[in-house]
Structure 1
Amino acid sequence: MSAAATYARLAAGDAARRVAFSVAKRRAVLARLAEGIRAREAEIMAALAADLGKPEVEVRISEIIPVLSEIRHSARHLQRWARPRRVMPTLAMLGTRGTIRPEPKGTVLIIAPWNYPFCLALGPLVSALAAGNAAVIKPSELAPATSALIAALVKDTLPEDLVAVVEGGVETSTELLAQPFDHIFFTGSPAVGRVVMAAAAKTLASVTLELGGKSPVILGAGADVKKAARMLAWGKFQNAGQTCIAPDHVFVPRAMEPAFTAALRAEIARMYGADPLASPSYARLVGARHFARLKGMLDEALSKGATLVAGGAAQEAARYLAPTVLTGVPGETALMREEIFGPVLPVIAYDDLEAVLAQIEAGEKPLALYLFARDRAVIARITAATTSGALGINVTLAHFLHLNLPFGGIGTSGLGAAHGRWGFAAFSHAKPVLENRFAVLDPLMPPYTTFSARLAQALQKLVG
């Protein structure tokens, strides 16, 4: 079935679904999805090993657990989220009753990326179903094993009039984006995000964009170097650095740079051994094109004077690039201009924290910013002086798993928020309902009289 026909089939049921898809039925569908995921655990592991060489532990903590947690959290809180909420009347609206009713937007599109192809397809689906929508999922063609797995899982687990998977490449995405979906949830690069937003504008669809950018790290003077190195090694090199919220580069006080790079080398060896190529804990790059891009960026930086502190080994056939750390990377190189999205970490020594903050604020707003510090004054200063999708203090990545926090970007790093209640809200229309009970409105209607003018004037004084 074509992408257009798939959309039309699901959209045809919107009116009936709005009435029939109760909270109880939504919970039942989510429970079936969770059961299907648990039953296919081995297949999920195999698919992600084939696509990205992901270790089993990484699959659990970054692909399966987030989706199951989202299901559990949504099912637990759904009754409260979906309940109409009374609001107090303002002075001008005395005598009315106001209610906000969350309603499903209708039929939605979820376009998933290749780097966390399972989690970032099914996580948004949980929110879409919790809000009462039908959904079309477009998995990434760059993770073909996981794409096929998602298609089979949805077909075997969820009602065909509720969720459909459309596989394919750019042409398929283009055809889907031409359909008048009620909401589009896209995860990917800022460049493609602009294409998605332009397509959504043609049908006036609302959008959630989870994009990316160069997420910086700042080490404050007095930071715990060993703990920072351990947290950064995990956050940067999980999934071979192919994480939208991975630390992109690190600003370190100049006096702390030798100790920090030494600690980072030690943590890489502890996590992945002397030869990460042989480590069962280290993932692989998605494909030859991405490998060539990263290798080119690394080679350019080294040719222009950067110093290799750790890693650097690469094997194209194995889609392998070692966890790599550089210092002295020139600012005009691609590593410093583009989102790296791979296991290469530039370390930048600084003398003046204010100059670092000015540099960060002069650039595009990142999806995440990470700060390692003990001094509360430094933490307060950096929190107030920077803008980012999220701020992690003495931690990396973990905010993605916190379902009571919104996850999303700002500016070029994204639009809108996801996870938990925020995901439910993204796929819902908050419909205001105003009921007139005994509001005094008649004297304010034409024909206007002297009394109307005096009443309007009195009301203006009352409210303002």
Structure 2
Amino acid sequence: MGRGEYRTNDMLSSKWRDMNLKVRKFNGIYSHKWQTRRSGQSDAMIEREAEEQYREEFNAHFSLQRTLVNDSPAPAVFDSEAAGCLVKELRDTFLSGKTRSYEWRLSQLKSLLKMMEDSEKQICDALFSDLSKPEMEAYIHEVAMIKSSCKLALKKLKDWMKPEKAKTNLGTFPSTAEIVPEPLGVVLVISAWNYPLLLSVDPVIGAIAAGNAVVLKPSELASAMSSLLAKLLGKYLDNSAIKVVEGAVPETSVLLEQKWDKIFYTGNGRVARIVMAAAAKNLTPVVLELGGKSPVLVDSNIDLAVTSRRILSGKWGCNNGQACVAPDYLITTKQYAPVLIESLKHNLVKFFGEDPMNSPDLSRVGNSNHFARLKKLLDDDKVSGKIIHGGQADKSSLKIAPTIILDAPEDSLIMTEEIFGPLLPIMTVEKIEDGIEFINSRAKPLAAYLFTNNKQLKEKFVSNISAGGVVINDVTLHLMVDTLPFGGVGESGMGAYHGKFSFDSFSHKKAVLYRGFFGDAPARYPPYTPGKLRLLKALLGGSLLGIIRALFGFS
């Protein structure tokens, strides 16, 4: 356990949590063994191998946990006093100037990249344990993106830290000006469970690059990744400036009681309101990375095969729909819907087989609460009769098959709540422009997608749809472009990050004006006269002729 990790007695002694983790771990191992079974292997042999691997891994896991807990100097209970001490330690480090230097920032980013290189297998294993996330998804959507963020920050850090020259005017002549990025201080990052590596470490990269001390609070709902991050960040990074606090609501609550220089929260709107209320007590600025119902508008003037594949990949290939930018619902015309639906069904079988419940390429639902919520959306009387594909659900494995619903009522739960799962409602309209009108009648989404070859429709969509981001003829890929800001608008969030936007998010742009003692204008000082007023008006108006006239006494 790194010196930066805190646990609570409640966490360590929770029998339910341990049992839940055991069941999920065994199910994951068994599923993998079954999918990769050798020729002639019986079900009993597969189960026996899974049990042996499970015992071996968990004996090692709990042996390590006992060692970590016994050796840890961290307090047994993380209360307000412990949180206050933690923040004071980090603030002392920040005030020492340690984190401001280019060398310190560079060393931490290099260590973070080394952590990713050294720990790739552990990370993928943790993601599989928490979400049964396929290795391909784990690498592309989490590991590779963190490596890319680290490398970009290492490459661009010196440029990002440089002051930016700013123009001055006649009113301050002679002078020069610049905008100096400076670190905010001590910041808090609260991450989410669905991409527990990416959503934890990516903001931390920005905070480090900007020269801050930082506390990371990973999600307790991704317990394997939370424990791993506490261990790895404690091992690879400077614990006097970067710490991890594990725990659940009690730990998060005492963290929010502290004074921070910025809070970066990723999650849902309900908790975001709690975060904002806590931040308001100290006038702490916040970044809120939330979600919403991200729509996909599909025109008939498209490449159908490509469109279908891209929608499916963005919906079910992104953590089985458990992504803030995953397509939430689809809109197309009544005339084109049958063609599109047939293509979607065909490709779903092609991607995940006739029995998607046993596909190794689909993540499971994050936890039992989310499973129950999704099942409630499916079992709604207004929706259950509208299912045209999928609908299977297994509580024991937390699996729900890719499901398509056609024309669910606009007031149904599935059309009013963010789905965040493997369910895709399709809404039909008379003409494609009606889809734009419908999208604008709802809360502003985190992302909005359009598939069309129609230039005018593209322009209308971009001009009229307010969303955190817009993608034409694809979905979710704007996240991979580090020159684009990623963030929401309205109820889908505030603030943005990725690339330099992460650096800027954790920096204050300080305005600096330099002047010498030459060129002191008597006209700015009392006693005020009509002549001085004429001169100042000419100066502030930028009129060279007016300045000359005022200096020579002409009105």
Q: TM-score, normalised by structure 1?
A: 0.97
Give the one of 364, 369, 380 matched to 1:300.
380
Give the one of 415, 426, 451 matched to 1:372.
451
Structure-to-structure mapping, 1:129-144, within 5 angstroms: 129-144=208-223
Counterpart in the other structure of 1:385: 464
Render the CA deviation track for 1:45-103: whole Å, top value 9, x for unaligned. 11111111101111001111111100001111111110011111123222111111111
Q: Secondary structure at the match of 1:12?
A: helix
Structure-to-structure mapping, 1:229-240, within 5 angstroms: 229-237=308-316, 238-240=318-320
CA distance in 2 between partners of 1:364 and 1:291 (Å): 25
Unmatched 5+ stretches in structure 1: none
Render the CA deviation track for 1:278-315: whole Å, top value 9, x for unaligned. 211110011111000000101105x5564222110000
Structure-to-structure mapping, 1:230-379, within 5 angstroms: 230-237=309-316, 238-300=318-380, 303-304=382-383, 306-379=385-458
Equivalent position amino acid for 1:287 in 2: N
Render the CA deviation track for 1:190-218: whole Å, top value 9, x for unaligned. 22112111211111111111111000110
CA distance in 2 between partners of 1:158 and 1:305 (Å): 50
CA distance in 1 between partners of 2:432 and 2:174 (Å): 56
CA distance in 2 between partners of 1:46 and 1:62 (Å): 15
Q: CA deviation at 1:117?
A: 0.7
- Say yes or no: does 1:459 pair with 2:459: no
Asked if 2 retains the 8 angstrom alpha-carbon contact of 1:112 and 1:120, the reply is yes
CA distance in 2 between partners of 1:414 and 1:96 (Å): 39
CA distance in 2 between partners of 1:262 and 1:209 (Å): 38
Q: CA deviation at 1:353?
A: 2.9
Identity of aligned residues (%): 38
Asked if 2 retains the 8 angstrom alpha-carbon contact of 1:284 and 1:319, the reply is yes
Render the CA deviation track for 1:94-150: whole Å, top value 9, x for unaligned. 211111111110111000001101110000000100001110000001111110000
Structure-to-structure mapping, 1:55-454, within 5 angstroms: 55-237=134-316, 238-300=318-380, 303-304=382-383, 306-437=385-516, 438-454=518-534
Give the one of 21, 24, 37 matched to 2:116.
37
Distance 1:154 1:444, change over 3 A: same
Q: Secondary structure at the match of 2:354?
A: coil
Q: Secondary structure at the match of 1:325?
A: strand
Asked if 1 retains the 8 angstrom alpha-carbon contact of 2:523 and 2:533, the reply is no
Q: CA deviation at 1:360?
A: 1.2
Asked if 2 retains the 8 angstrom alpha-carbon contact of 1:186 and 1:193, the reply is yes
Q: Secondary structure at the match of 2:108?
A: helix
User: 1 or 2 for the larger relative contact order (CA 8 Å, sep ≥6)?
Assistant: 1
Asked if 2 retains the 8 angstrom alpha-carbon contact of 1:133 and 1:427, the reply is yes
Asked if 2 retains the 8 angstrom alpha-carbon contact of 1:261 and 1:309, the reply is no
Asked if 1 retains the 8 angstrom alpha-carbon contact of 2:332 and 2:432, the reply is no
Unmatched 5+ stretches in structure 2: 1-74, 76-81, 547-555
Distance 1:350 1:460, change over 3 A: same
Q: Secondary structure at the match of 2:335?
A: helix
Q: CA deviation at 1:165?
A: 0.3
Counterpart in the other structure of 1:7: 87
CA distance in 2 between partners of 1:133 and 1:400 (Å): 24
CA distance in 1 between partners of 2:432 and 2:105 (Å): 50
CA distance in 2 between partners of 1:354 and 1:252 (Å): 10
Asked if 2 retains the 8 angstrom alpha-carbon contact of 1:178 and 1:199, the reply is yes
Equivalent position amino acid for 1:282 in 2: L
CA distance in 2 between partners of 1:353 and 1:439 (Å): 64
CA distance in 2 between partners of 1:65 and 1:84 (Å): 30
Asked if 1 retains the 8 angstrom alpha-carbon contact of 2:293 and 2:419, the reply is yes
Render the CA deviation track for 1:238-268: whole Å, top value 9, x for unaligned. 2111000000000012111111111111111
Q: CA deviation at 1:449?
A: 2.2
Asked if 1 retains the 8 angstrom alpha-carbon contact of 2:444 and 2:490, the reply is yes
Q: CA deviation at 1:426?
A: 0.3
Equivalent position amino acid for 1:229 in 2: S
Q: Secondary structure at the match of 1:42?
A: helix
Equivalent position amino acid for 1:71 in 2: C
Q: CA deviation at 1:432?
A: 0.9
CA distance in 2 between partners of 1:426 and 1:92 (Å): 32
Q: TM-score, normalised by structure 2?
A: 0.81
Q: Secondary structure at the match of 1:371?
A: strand
CA distance in 1 between partners of 2:453 and 2:519 (Å): 56
Q: Secondary structure at the match of 2:428?
A: strand
Q: Secondary structure at the match of 2:286?
A: strand
